[in-house]
A = this chain, B = another copy of it.
């Protein structure tokens, strides 16, 4: 009998462990040996759930863990926790690794051979080199360890009943640096924990994943929720008190006092290993793969999740999109391919959805700036509509912005900001984008209609109708 092939996975979260699970589903341990290295303490966890854990929506850390190392091991996946891969040797088909025991120096380095390698090293938080950024009291929210540390800090400040005033009786203050997805989600978590929240954003608007006019809607709503939103003024330093703990964030001119500082500046692909091994990286630093998720130029190295760039089906360019839903799909594709099947990940259209308290924020396709950048000529329209029939209780307003190519009428992008029922409507546009529909075709889409679910013209169709008129006008 032939020896089992060896699949080595670097990174034990969504992409890596989905690849491992999918490969195992298709091939047993006699055919395929699977070893997964994870340098942290957790496997297969939901980083996107951390803001809701901090907010109290999610009761405990373990709720965010889809599958523990033990559960993976029961399925014959050899997960090595607290084990860091320190080098990749593509030519000889091996990786170098070492254990990271708790409260002890790293163990000796050793080499492990692979027939197929999966790089699923994820992303790291963007950390500008500001004075004080490493101070105690400055928290990222990328890993479960980060979330745990932040929760402990908040609980220490607030006490068990999560009061909004500290031990001295003053209102507790939080500064969130960055107003992208993570920033606004953390702002929500902290407001709901009764902190006085200031959000600092270097760009002129919150949510630069939206066009400025739509981002302004988010700003207005955040202010109505009692947050202070400071834009156009990047943070320049974290100030510390005598004990070395963060006590304020300054933008140069103004200092914003903080009992806790949360960093939400987005993430960048974690590809230092790949870079050192000479693997091809895109502009964002993400690994470049083919549609089978095989690293370009490699035979047997695969990559997926937050460390890759993916094809944007609308712009035709590759881009970095860190989202658990993509990571899972990448893993599925990689696992199938390694186990002798054939699968491809066709690319993304740039869909994202988030919320700040009851404000839902969604987008898909290109923003105005992105469409201009790739040289497209387009029209834009915005439409106001409601989530349900206007007369139905709970009907809430939303604004839908739509971009369509001038001349052809092809849908290029959609942004939605509204209340309950707004966010997931972006899926309609996401599927239409994938299918290459025109806004004229979209106008007559047969969508679910009943008064508790939609007006007779769904908000997305109202925008499509307006865009159709603008394209032909």
Task: Using CB atoms and an 8 Å cutoff, list the residues of chain A in contact with chain B.
Answer: 14, 46, 48-49, 52, 57-58, 63-64, 181, 323-329, 332, 345-355, 360, 362, 364, 389, 391-393, 421, 423-428, 430-432, 434-435, 437, 441, 443-454, 456-458, 465
Contact B58 A424 (CB under 8 A): no
Beyond A52-B452, A58-B392, whether A325 also contacts B434 by CB under 8 A is no
Beyond A424-B453, A427-B427, whether A447 also contacts B325 by CB under 8 A is yes
Q: Measured between C-beta atoms, what is the minimum distance from A182 to chain B in Å?
A: 11
Contacts of A360 in B (CB 8 A): 453
Contacts of A457 in B (CB 8 A): 325, 328
Chain B residue at minimal CB-CB distance from A452: B355
Question: Quick one: which of A393, A435, A446, A454 has the most chain B CB within 10 A?
Answer: A446
Contacts of A447 in B (CB 8 A): 325, 351, 427, 430-431
Contact B355 A423 (CB under 8 A): no
Q: How far is the CA of A345 from the CA of B440 in the complex (A)?
A: 11
Contact pick for A49, options B444, B451, B454, B465, CB 8 Å: B451
Q: Measured between C-beta atoms, what is the minimum distance from A22 to chain B in Å?
A: 11
Contact A353 B456 (CB under 8 A): no
Q: How far is the CA of A465 from the CA of B63 in the complex (A)?
A: 25
Contact B349 A451 (CB under 8 A): no
Contact A46 B346 (CB under 8 A): no
Q: How far is the CA of A360 from the CA of B452 in the complex (A)?
A: 10
Contact pick for A453, options B329, B353, B364, B456, CB 8 Å: B353
Contacts of A57 in B (CB 8 A): 392-393, 452
Contact A450 B14 (CB under 8 A): no
Q: How far is the CA of A106 from the CA of B327 in the complex (A)?
A: 70
Contact B434 A445 (CB under 8 A): yes
Q: Measured between C-beta atoms, what is the minimum distance from A452 to chain B in Å?
A: 6
Contact B426 A14 (CB under 8 A): no
Contact B444 A345 (CB under 8 A): yes
Contact B446 A348 (CB under 8 A): yes
5 contacts between A and B (CB under 8 A): A57-B452, A58-B392, A325-B447, A428-B431, A431-B437
Q: How far is the CA of A181 from the CA of B449 in the complex (A)?
A: 12
Chain B residue at minimal CB-CB distance from A65: B391
Chain B residue at minimal CB-CB distance from A421: B424
Contacts of A449 in B (CB 8 A): 48, 323-325, 351-353
Question: Quick one: which of A364, A391, A423, A428 has the most chain B CB within 10 A?
Answer: A391
Contact pick for A391, options B64, B446, B454, CB 8 Å: B64
Contact A49 B389 (CB under 8 A): yes
Contacts of A446 in B (CB 8 A): 325-326, 347-351, 364, 430, 434
Contact A48 B450 (CB under 8 A): yes
Q: How far is the CA of A63 from the CA of B451 in the complex (A)?
A: 12
Contacts of A329 in B (CB 8 A): 443-444
Contact B431 A392 (CB under 8 A): no
Chain B residue at minimal CB-CB distance from A56: B393
Q: Measured between C-beta atoms, what is the minimum distance from A242 to chain B in Å?
A: 39
Top 8 A-B residue pairs of the complex, sorted by shortest distance between their CB atoms: A435-B435, A353-B448, A325-B449, A431-B431, A63-B391, A348-B446, A351-B446, A325-B456
Contact pick for A351, options B352, B421, B448, CB 8 Å: B448
Contact pick for A435, options B389, B426, B432, B458, CB 8 Å: B432
